[in-house]
């Protein structure tokens, strides 16, 4: 592909990172009843990610000299600052006229508050992934489910059709705004990343907030609901459309990207992504075989999928052969398939993690990805790298969400981002797009996002102590929300360290205008059944919400059959309220070293994955 002369002098500049937020993603909310304590996939997840990114930008600003043109003084916040009082401070911060925010001055970053959206029923990439030969059957149903959700709940029914996992899925009338906004932002990020190197860009059905490209080579897109569990027409695991596969299809159809690498680092296997990738590769393989005789040489989309995940967790916790086998596939070339699955492993020390586990099995994700590209043409301008960035394998995730000890240290998200960027530099002209998948505790989201952004930015001088527990607690203190119904209070008093104050300033800008409150709804709806990503109630009258943190749930008898229609739906698993995560239910895995488990009287949030206890659980 010919280089644009205007870009000839930019080759040696640091790769620029675009960070995309989409407020429409906050519109996906639970409306069945007023008790949202059971929710782990909640709008506040985005807030926790914003806090982590704010810390990362604040810290990195100190590592680079400000640009010569930067003459805007940093405003200071004093006392308890309410949202209405932030106006003057925000006015003193420069907001450019291209949809970007002047944050991270001197850093190779660009932040976009996206307004991009698309129509599920009128977008080529969405139809490529979730369409049907007979028409957009699933997509039409999805829009109908959301549109009718309020009426369904008002009648005491579930808005999710019978036969789909009730505990994993929920919808409200504005959920479609969130889903379409998430996909629109993904496509916008892809357009921005490939625009300077791909001359084949051609509009498409996406409505982009700004017509000017921010000139980024890498992007992180903070969106929800997640997507990697959703197959062609099988929503599950909080997912209704597959964001990363739709993104790959968009890159292929609109920008001529024919080879895609997807690196999935979520705690859970991306069964939906792998299923879709298998179908896409199968079709491309069939067409390429036919082309040998027909002479049609137009290349199809080829995708490598590499995943590192916990084989004991959802969707494999029941040990169903087809799911466990799919999550263990390693195939490279035959039948046109390129898939590598690696199972998360426990580790005894950081030295063991980095020297044995990370350099060993985890490194296969990138090694096999390199082999895929080498065997299909090598580096090229038709290559794009994606990260399905789940943060739920983080050491700070709820111990009940990651109870098999298949975790990674926070620094993993920094190092893997660095290695993925180096891989993209070698094979894809640096083009990389990372999408938020899972991650549920606020501390896991904040620390993981912080480390990941530091890795993607590529700034020298990053320190692991930035995401230490002590420093995370400082951030939590100044960004915590008041109790239910109260207003957000950003406290700068006592924030003697400049990076803490700067974090508050940046977060104020990123979160300005975002709303996390619930809409009006009927309270006549049914209760929430246990999520498939939580532990089913296996013993009558056993309330796992009341199990002490140090006590594993008891072993259980054989699973009972499904309740008959009309039976009372099970009580939802109890999770930590998003507004009280760090005061009322701090996980033992994130307590400071000075605190002991014996002194902990807090209860375990019931977001336990629905698997039986590990074999040695009762011996602990």
Beta strand ranges found along 191-335 (DSSP E): 218-222, 259-264, 302-309, 330-332
- Side-chain-side CA neighbours of 4 within 13 Å: the count stands at 10
Domains of the chain: 23-66+99-462 (3.40.800.20)
End-to-end CA distance of the chain: 60
Instruction: Provide the pLDDT confidence category of residue 503 given band limits of 50, 70 and 90.
Output: very high
Task: Supply the DSSP symbol for 528.
Answer: P
Kindly report the three-state secondary structure assignment for every residue of 296-321: CCCCCCEEEEEEEECCCCCCCCCCCH
CA distance 547 to 557: 18
CA distance 500 to 494: 10
Higher pLDDT, 67 or 50: 50
pLDDT at 14: 60
- The predicted-structure confidence for 240-253, as pLDDT tens digits, reads as follows 999 999 999 999 99
Does the N-terminal peptide bond of residue 315 adopt cis geometry, omega within 30 degrees of 0?
yes
Q: How many residues does the chain have?
A: 620
β partners of residue 264: 307, 388
Radius of gyration over every alpha carbon of the chain, rounded to an integer in angstroms: 23
Range picked from 31-45, 168-182, 487-501, 503-517 for highest mean pLDDT: 168-182
CA distance 39 to 90: 32
Report the predicted TM-score, pTM, of the whole model to 2 decimal places.
Answer: 0.80
What percent of the chain stands above pLDDT 70? 70
Range name among 56-70, 454-468, 552-566 with the lowest pLDDT average? 552-566
- The predicted-structure confidence for 142-180, as pLDDT tens digits, reads as follows 999 999 999 999 999 999 999 999 989 999 999 999 999
- The predicted-structure confidence for 110-140, as pLDDT tens digits, reads as follows 999 999 999 999 999 999 999 976 777 999 9
- The tokens describing 307, both together, are 């995943």
Range name among 32-36, 83-87, 275-279, 335-339 with the lowest pLDDT average? 83-87
Helices (H), 217-270: 243-255
Does the N-terminal peptide bond of residue 84 adopt cis geometry, omega within 30 degrees of 0?
no
Q: For helices 175-195 and 137-147, give the axis angle rounded to 10 degrees.
A: 130
Token pair 């997507």 is found at: 227
Higher pLDDT, 469 or 102: 469
pLDDT at 105: 74
């Amino acid at each position: 592909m010919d280089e644009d002369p205007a870009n000839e002098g930019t080759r040696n500049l640091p790769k620029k990172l675009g960070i995309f937020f989409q407020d429409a993603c906050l519109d996906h909310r639970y409306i069945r009843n007023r008790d949202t304590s059971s929710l782990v996939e909640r709008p506040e997840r985005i807030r926790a990610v914003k806090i982590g990114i704010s810390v990362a930008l604040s810290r990195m600003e100190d590592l680079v000299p400000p640009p010569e043109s930067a003459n805007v003084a940093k405003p200071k916040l004093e006392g308890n600052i309410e949202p209405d009082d932030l106006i003057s401070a925000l006015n003193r911060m420069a907001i450019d006229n291209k949809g970007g925010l002047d944050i991270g001055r001197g850093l190779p970053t660009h932040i976009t508050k996206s307004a991009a959206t698309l129509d599920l029923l009128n977008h080529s990439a969405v139809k490529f992934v979730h369409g049907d030969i007979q028409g957009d059957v699933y997509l039409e149903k999805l829009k109908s489910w959301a549109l009718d959700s309020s009426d369904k709940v008002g009648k005491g029914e579930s808005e999710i059709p019978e036969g789909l996992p009730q505990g994993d899925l929920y919808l409200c009338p504005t959920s479609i705004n969130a889903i379409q906004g998430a996909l629109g932002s993904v496509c916008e990020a892809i357009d921005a990343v490939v625009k300077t190197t791909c001359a084949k860009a051609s509009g498409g059905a996406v409505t982009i907030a700004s017509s000017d490209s921010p000139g980024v080579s890498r992007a992180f897109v903070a969106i929800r609901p997640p997507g990697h569990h959703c197959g062609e027409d099988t929503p599950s695991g909080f997912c209704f459309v597959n964001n990363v596969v739709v993104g790959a299809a968009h890159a292929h159809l609109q920008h001529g990207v024919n080879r895609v690498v997807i690196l999935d680092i979520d705690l859970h296997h991306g069964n939906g992504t792998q299923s879709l990738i298998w179908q896409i590769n199968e079709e491309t393989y069939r067409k390429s075989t036919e082309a040998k005789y027909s002479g049609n040489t137009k290349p199809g989309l080829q995708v490598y999928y590499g995943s590192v995940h916990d084989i004991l967790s959802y969707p494999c916790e029941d040990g169903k052969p087809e799911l466990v086998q799919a999550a263990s596939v390693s195939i490279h070339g035959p039948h046109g398939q390129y898939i590598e699955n690696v199972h998360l492993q426990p580790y005894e020390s950081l030295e063991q993690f980095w020297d044995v586990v990370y350099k060993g099995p985890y490194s296969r994700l990138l090694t096999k990805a390199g082999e895929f590209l080498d065997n299909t043409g090598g580096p090229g301008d038709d290559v794009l790298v994606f990260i399905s960035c789940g943060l739920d394998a983080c050491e700070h995730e709820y111990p009940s969400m990651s109870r098999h000890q298949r975790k990674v240290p926070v620094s993993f998200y920094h190092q893997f981002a660095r290695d993925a960027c180096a891989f993209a530099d070698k094979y894809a002209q640096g083009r990389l797009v990372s999408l938020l998948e899972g991650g549920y505790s606020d501390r896991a989201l904040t620390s993981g996002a912080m480390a990941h952004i530091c890795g993607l930015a590529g700034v020298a001088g990053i320190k692991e102590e930035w995401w230490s527990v002590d420093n995370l607690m400082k951030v939590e203190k100044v960004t915590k929300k008041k109790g239910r119904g109260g207003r957000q209070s950003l406290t700068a008093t006592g924030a003697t360290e400049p990076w803490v104050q700067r974090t508050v300033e940046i977060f104020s800008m990123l979160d300005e205008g975002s709303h996390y409150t619930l809409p009006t709804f009927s309270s006549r709806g049914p209760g929430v059944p246990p999520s498939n990503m939580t532990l089913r109630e296996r013993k009558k009258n056993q309330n796992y919400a009341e199990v002490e943190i140090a006590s594993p749930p008891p072993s259980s008898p054989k699973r009972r059959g499904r309740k008959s229609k009309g039976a009372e739906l099970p009580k939802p698993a109890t999770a930590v309220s998003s507004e009280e995560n760090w005061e009322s239910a701090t996980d033992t895995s994130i307590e400071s070293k000075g605190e002991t488990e014996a002194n902990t009287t807090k209860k375990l949030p019931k977001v336990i994955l629905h698997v039986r206890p590990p074999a040695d659980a009762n011996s602990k």
